[in-house]
Chains A and B, each alone.
Chain A
Amino acid sequence: MRELSPDHNIKLKENLAGRFPNAGFKVEENRGIVVIEASRSSLIELMKHLKEDAGCSFNVLMDLTAVDYLDKRKSEERFEVVYMLFSSTSLHRVRIKVKAGDGDDVPSLVSIWKGANWPEREVFDFFGIKFSGHPLMERLIMPDEFRGYPLRKDFPLEGQGEDYLIESILIPDKTKI
């Protein structure tokens, strides 16, 4: 069992301050994990650095998801895309958050981690956040004909009446049988 080095977070913060002196990231620590709030324009550069720099080497994209803060943060943008990174060499983790408003594009990470492909499509499927530069920005889980984004907080809890799906799913097949 390898030990986590206790001063890793301090080193990581110094590393980031050295590499991005004027980026204005909001860096904090939450339960031993460094949380970086980045802007959409600087996201790709930051992620590349976190993956490739020898002092960081966060080589695994553990998770990619989103949160809808509808009406919770009136003054700010509505969505937050959250990335969890893990380093298989130092065993440390880091969390990156990016804010996005309704209709904003977030840069896609497929060029850095191929594994970002499906999670980004899933986020698009359920929250309607588009990722620019993604090879196939389509729904992943819901039927293609589905209207709306079901994990948004303003989506009706019991659905909006999805019987229109029966028609679009079954009637084309009726001719094939």
Chain B
Amino acid sequence: MGLDSMQGDSFVTTKLSALVGWARQYSLWPFPFATACCGIEYMSVLSSDFDLARFGAERPSFSPRQADLLIVLGTLTYKMAPVLWKVYHSMSEPKWVMSVGACASSGGMFRSYSVLQGIDRIIPVDIYIPGCPPRPEAILDALIKLQQRVKKESIKDPRYRGRADALDEIFSGYESGNLVQK
């Protein structure tokens, strides 16, 4: 935004960073990418018993352009993988990704020919939630932990630059049909 080149690591930048971080922390707009049963659990998180709105993330955004938190809930097949890829890349920066449940994080019990073994094979993930499905409390806990990270991100050195590099690295790791894990 040009501020960092003008001001460097000065008082103004760090204070502005803290202000922006505080604002972002309590206004995460989630995009629920619900492909399986974990999505049902997310409905419970949104409704009154657990109430995600208490943490400022009550507006599920069904347009990736207006979302900054991608919540992936459920089994992702190879057929669905390009859709997640497109949704992730349609979101504008800054953006964060939460992987809910065993399926999204590792393929879960579906160790088969059709299921992607973890969404981190195609997009970078900020926070993983274990469970099949995770309790709503676990999702709330993950959101609070993610908020702590969002708060600390500096406008001068945003983490997403690092993430974009990581993505390029993933793609440089492909060699004629074999994914070389780094």
Report yes or no: A169 in contact with B78, Cβ–Cβ below 8 A: yes
Q: Is B79 in contact with chain A by the CB < 8 A criterion?
A: yes
Q: Is A163 in contact with chain B by the CB < 8 A criterion?
A: yes
For B174, list chain A residues within 8 Å (CB): 166-167, 171
For B177, list chain A residues within 8 Å (CB): 164, 167
User: Interface on A for B, CB 8 Å cutoff?
Assistant: 141-143, 146, 148, 150, 155-160, 162-167, 169-171, 173-174, 177
Stretch at the interface among B111-119, B138-146, B156-164: B111-119
Stretch at the interface among B33-41, B80-88, B96-104, B129-137: B80-88
Cα separation A174 to B172 with both chains bound (whole Å)? 13
Partner of A160, one of B78, B113, B117: B113
For A143, list chain B residues within 8 Å (CB): 78-79
Q: Which residue of A lies closest to B79 (CB)?
A: A143
Q: Which residue of A lies closest to B88 (CB)?
A: A177
- Beyond the given pairs A158-B112, A170-B81, 7 more chain A to chain B contacts, judged by CB atoms under 8 angstroms and listed by A's residue number, are A159-B114, A165-B81, A166-B121, A169-B82, A170-B85, A170-B122, A177-B86
Report yes or no: B111 in contact with A159, Cβ–Cβ below 8 A: yes
For A159, list chain B residues within 8 Å (CB): 111-114
Report yes or no: A150 in contact with B171, Cβ–Cβ below 8 A: no
Q: Which residue of B lies closest to A168 (CB)?
A: B177
Report yes or no: B86 in contact with A162, Cβ–Cβ below 8 A: no
User: Interface on B for A, CB 8 Å cutoff?
Assistant: 78-79, 81-82, 85-86, 89, 111-114, 116-117, 121-122, 171, 174, 177-179
Report yes or no: B179 in contact with A169, Cβ–Cβ below 8 A: no
Report yes or no: A150 in contact with B114, Cβ–Cβ below 8 A: yes
For A171, list chain B residues within 8 Å (CB): 171, 174
For B117, list chain A residues within 8 Å (CB): 163
For B82, list chain A residues within 8 Å (CB): 169-170, 173
Report yes or no: A162 in contact with B122, Cβ–Cβ below 8 A: no
Cα separation A163 to B91 with both chains bound (whole Å)? 25
| 18 pairs, CB–CB < 8 Å, chain A vs chain B | A142-B79, A142-B114, A148-B113, A156-B113, A158-B112, A163-B117, A164-B178, A165-B78, A166-B116, A166-B174, A167-B177, A167-B179, A169-B78, A169-B85, A171-B171, A174-B171, A177-B86, A177-B89
Of the candidates B82, B86, B121, the one having the most CB atoms from chain A within 10 angstroms of its own CB is: B82
- Minimum C-beta distance from A162 to chain B (A): 6
Cα separation A128 to B171 with both chains bound (whole Å)? 32
- Minimum C-beta distance from A30 to chain B (A): 32
